[in-house]
Amino acid sequence: MTDRIKSLLDRTFDKEQKKFRRDVDWTALLERFVAEGASDIVRARKGLEEMLKAETPAFMDGERIAFLRTVKQIPELHTDEEMNARRAAGVAFGEKGVIFNLTADFAPAIRDGLGARLDEIAARLVACRASGDAEGVEFLENAALCVEAVLDLAGRYRKAAEEAGLADIAATLVQVPLNGARTFHEALQSLRILHYAMWCEGEYHCGLGRIDQYLYPYYEADVEAGRLTQETALEELEEFFIACNRDSDLYIGVQQGDNGQSVMLGGLTRDGNSAFNELSRLCLKACGELKLVDPKINMRVDKSTPLEIYRLGTELTKEGLGFPQYANDDVVIPALLRWGYELEDARDYSVAACWEFLIPGCGMDINNIDAVSFVGALDAALRNVMPSSFDDVKRAFFEEIQRRADALVEKYRHVEILPGPFVSVISTGCIENARDLSKGGKYNNFGIHGTGLAVAVDSLASVRELVFEKRLVTLQELVALLDTDFAGRPDILAAAKAAPKMGNADSRADDLAKELVQFWGHAFDGKRNDRGGVFRPGTGSAMYYVWHAREVPASADGRLKGQPFSANYAPSLDVPVKGPVSVVKSFTEPDLVPVANGGPLTIEIHDSAFLQPDGVDKVAQLVKYFIERGGHQMQINTINRLTLLDAQAHPELHRHLIVRVWGWSGYFIELDKCYQDQIIKRVEL
């Protein structure tokens, strides 16, 4: 790491950038929108224009890649009353209703420049006006004005850089983003501006996609021409990664760090060749040196991936970053094909914010529109079934899951998405079709989480053993105990905890998991949303592992009321497992192709594992074993319980402590206590 990068890193981590920020009250703008009855797309365009006008060019000492948020608040475009009125009229929204959880088509925009997009818009406008396509005209006119607003801010940055004597920055901004990038540095600066503008428009959880693919031509050309060496390229890449952390505390998320700034490395190219390249290696090296939470690194691997690549990823795990997160092409690509994605697109997949899979630039999937609580479904089933056998319990459970799945299909019968004219400009097909991305992309699928899978499986195994095999209690008696946290029956609580558990390579639990995953994977078969897409079930939990746990009493596996589920696809908390190999065996027993919306196996490894000379090799082998057995996703936390407890007690001493939360990494001391406590519980075994 060079001295310049070290200085930028330290000052960014110390939040020096905050000195440039100010508050802006956007109330009058929102009131004007309401008074004028402004359309959604006009509000989106004017919101971006006003946001960028309010921004003041600012520079950190020593930087060469510019653009820094100086306005804390993004304008609200609709009142709560307006949104609630739409909901009352039968409209459903995903989260805030805006475009989110996506990756734009950065490659063509970087290559051609925004000036070329303006030319395309102008030509398409002529055709729309001639054909009387009023909706197309409205979209294109507002999209052009959004591009002009971004270019205007870039021009003000260029002028400010000239006045400040920052010749390098000024020269770069003469070229991009108006014109196409010619060098690696220009490409990074262009990407920074495009990504920055998306957040200012109101999109959130904006991923960066396959940067080792679309930035590689610039890197390769610069190296061949002698303009770059690996060392100077690393310096530029590290500066870009640092820039990703300057504004991230202003980004929307359930918790600090939950911002969706994910990148995907490796995998296959669109024509099926290996995509891992020298830039992939540099990205891993940059993250290892910087030790920041952004960008979050994902790696695509398969059965043919060399162990050396797993070792490179494991070096980041060793640093305690909580990433890379691994995705298995052997599972994910067939899953995408099953859901109707074209082969070339499926080979080009990335992740949305956390781990939900998407196709950059052409997908308008809502990958996490809602969730089904498996534990809630089982609790409801146990209360409504009069079983003569355990099969009756399973049947009632699956029927309740299906009922809840069907209810979500009905709930999202009519989904609307608010416009994003600028992000549409840098997404595939929107200018050509003269329609905002919110109207739909090439793919328009909805992802549904399935939460508490291990808790549900363990509870089923416990019901079978306690009620039907050992006959320690009747089902009605067990349900009554769940409402009282097993009060007065410590023997039944102990028996519940001792029943078979998923994660120990125990077929008594794992066979139930196979049945549940199989059923869940087909719960939405034949169902389509009103945007023409399908429903994609997954094993992820997002924040629901805390939220859903609050909605149910104790569960039959011995979990008490209020205790959170395990995050994503992982053993239940407080379950003694034999070791990581047994966990991998259990969680790769099911066929995961039908549930590959996303949801990684999350494993905690004590940091002492890396004190041994072969620690990296052993963990790399574990990941490879998981992939070879057909696992779909994996993420590994390297943590120490005593360190976490000390960080709770003395946060000022642990500012750099990073943990993996559910599908993203964050600074431990910035998390709410309920999430801190859940992470600590993961390593109490």
- Give pLDDT, residue 21: 98
Higher pLDDT, 151 or 655: 151
Q: Taking 90 as the threshold, does the pLDDT of residue 80 lie above it?
A: yes
Strand 204-206 and strand 262-266: pairing? unpaired
Whether 328 and 321 have beta carbons less than 8 Å apart is answered as: no
pLDDT tens for 348-384 read 999 988 889 999 999 999 999 999 999 999 999 999 9
Instruction: Provide the 8-state DSSP code for 534.
Output: B
pLDDT tens for 52-67 read 999 999 999 999 999 9
Query: Can you give the length of the chain in residues?
Result: 685
Round to whole Å and give the CA distance between 122 and 105.
Answer: 20
Strand 325-328 and strand 633-639: pairing? antiparallel
| Residue 198 burial class via C-beta count within 10 angstroms: exposed 0-12, middle 13-18, buried 19 and up | buried
Q: Taking 70 as the threshold, does the pLDDT of residue 462 lie above it?
A: yes
Q: Give the three-class secondary structure for 576.
A: coil
* Mean pLDDT on 153-170: 98
Higher pLDDT, 604 or 208: 208
Lowest average pLDDT, out of 19-23, 256-260, 613-617, 674-678, goes to 256-260
Domain boundaries along the sequence of the chain: 1-82+100-203, 248-354+600-685, 356-594
* Mean pLDDT on 497-502: 97
Q: Taking 70 as the threshold, does the pLDDT of residue 546 lie above it?
A: yes
pTM for this entry:
0.94
- Give pLDDT, residue 675: 79
The number of helices, as runs of H, and strands, as runs of E, in the chain is 29, 14
Round to whole Å and give the CA distance between 514 and 525.
Answer: 18
> To the nearest whole percent, how much of the chain has pLDDT over 90?
84
Query: In this structure, which amino acid lies at residue 23?
Result: D
Q: Taking 90 as the threshold, does the pLDDT of residue 23 lie above it?
A: yes
Q: Taking 60 as the threshold, does the pLDDT of residue 685 lie above it?
A: no
| Cβ neighbours for 212, distance < 8 A, ≥ 6 positions apart | 263, 265, 266, 275, 276, 277, 279, 280, 283
- Give pLDDT, residue 663: 67
Round to whole Å and give the CA distance between 581 and 601.
Answer: 12
Q: Please, where are the H alpha helices in 37-133?
A: 40-54, 80-88, 106-112, 114-131
Average pLDDT, the chain: 94
| Residue 220 burial class via C-beta count within 10 angstroms: exposed 0-12, middle 13-18, buried 19 and up | middle
Whether 577 and 504 have beta carbons less than 8 Å apart is answered as: yes
Whether 275 and 212 have beta carbons less than 8 Å apart is answered as: yes
| Cβ neighbours for 637, distance < 8 A, ≥ 6 positions apart | 322, 602, 603, 604, 605, 659, 660, 679, 682
